[in-house]
Structure 1
């Protein structure tokens, strides 16, 4: 699996991005899965999704190894948010066909999403973007992709359910090509302002929220 160098100017935060080239067997040989992880993988039927699932964990293991720590797998909380076993900090994973990514922040919750630029973002606009965000995106696929990717990253950072992307996850207007955005998680019992780091890299777009 070739590692693609991706730098983030975020203190105490490590990001890794991989272009997947291995077979499922080769990836699986690099991991010792917990019982829960074996059950999780066993529930995935699509070969491509199984490959991406494994690749994300190999990528995360590499981040841990690079810090001189021991990777012992993941566990998921009641909301399905992943955490490192036996290690502190916060993680997030994201994948898309051909690519796997992982981020590990030592002190702060973090969210990650990677996406290609696709015309299908136009179809999800009504349920994902607020009226002002729709107007700002102006139907442009690259700007719609930023809104979608940013909101996915915010959702993963928050790590709980019972929210809607359109009402509770908001992104301030931005200049096309911007590398740093401002996002919000706004609920009756939770109000948070977050920074979104936007990288225009293969296969299209990667955003880290923290």
Structure 2
């Protein structure tokens, strides 16, 4: 399947989401991969991970980039050679890329009941407004996880804790945006975060 969704949150930022329905061979077709990228994808044990990796390269093409335009720093953060900011994510059959002039982060997660088991590891302030018995508890946990993961990617600081340093303000009903904060080393940073839900998945992206 081609591009699933394109979102333009502001004039400097674009999000593209891909639904991965193609086979590995179909996704390989038409891509020019760097030798290290080819070695990396061929070395992956999971075909799902391989297809996720390749779908990201197709998203790069949709933005007008090639695999050779992308590189990673020592912390694993992706960068583009032209200096624009990029963040990448994939989960099962969806992948997404956000590119902006500003600092950004993005995450996609499948909504699964198992998130309730690990909630205590990333939820603190949010317990004040979460209802564990609500029908949408898993959805709200998934939103909070995605928001915090997008903040983590945006902030790119080793040692940042989802539970201790990141907090997510509750979104109003029927709203798909919220405010999130990073409280780190006596400094507070405020971010606007947008999120969306589709086909049992949650995606959030933070913009500095």
TM-score normalised to structure 2 length: 0.88
> Of 101, 108, 111, which residue of structure 2 is paired with 1:117?
111
CA distance in 2 between counterparts of 1:177 and 1:118 reads 21
Give the equivalent residue in structure 1 for 2:195: 198
Q: Distance in 1 between matches of 2:200 and 2:59?
A: 17
Aligned to 2:156: 159
Shift of 1:5: 2.9
| Partner Cα separation in structure 1 for residue 57 and residue 205 of structure 2 | 18
Residues 187, 39 of structure 1: CA spacing in aligned structure 2 closer, same or farther, 3 A cutoff?
farther
Tell me how far apart the structure 1 counterparts of residues 56 and 130 of structure 2 sit (CA, whole Å): 30
Q: CA deviation at 1:39?
A: 4.1
Alignment gaps of 5+ in structure 1: none
* Partners of 2:18 and 2:59 within 8 A in 1: yes
- C-alpha displacement at 1:19, in angstroms? 1.1
Q: Residue 32 of structure 2 aligns with which residue?
A: 32
Could you tell me how far apart the structure 2 residues matched to 1:57 and 1:168 are? 32
**Offset, 1:202:** 3.3
Matched residues in 2 for 1:8 and 1:201: separation? 17
What CA RMSD, in Å, does the superposition of the two structures yield over aligned residues?
A: 2.0
CA–CA distance in structure 1, aligned partners of residues 93 and 171 of structure 2: 29
Output the CA distance in 1 between the equivalents of 2:110 and 2:118: 15
Structure 2: stretches of 5+ with no match in the other structure: none
1:66-85 CA distances to partner (integer Å, 9 max, x unpaired)?
A: xxx6663421111100112x
1:57-76 correspondence runs (5 A): 57-63=57-63, 65=64, 72-76=68-72
**Alpha-carbon distance between aligned partners in 2 of 1:71 and 1:47, rounded to the nearest angstrom:** 19
Paired residues of 1:2 and 1:19 also in contact (CA < 8 A) = yes
Give the 5 Å matches for 1:51-200.
51-63=51-63, 65=64, 72-84=68-80, 86-105=81-100, 107-130=101-124, 132-139=125-132, 140-188=137-185, 191-200=188-197
Q: Is the 8 A contact 2:90 2:107 kept in 1?
A: yes
Distance 1:202 1:167, change over 3 A: same
SS at match of 1:9: strand
More strand by share: 2
2:8 partner SS: coil
> TM-score, normalized by length of structure 1?
0.87
SS of equivalent residue, structure 2 residue 9: coil
Once residues 188 and 110 of structure 2 are traced to their aligned partners in structure 1, the CA distance between those partners, rounded to angstroms, is: 30
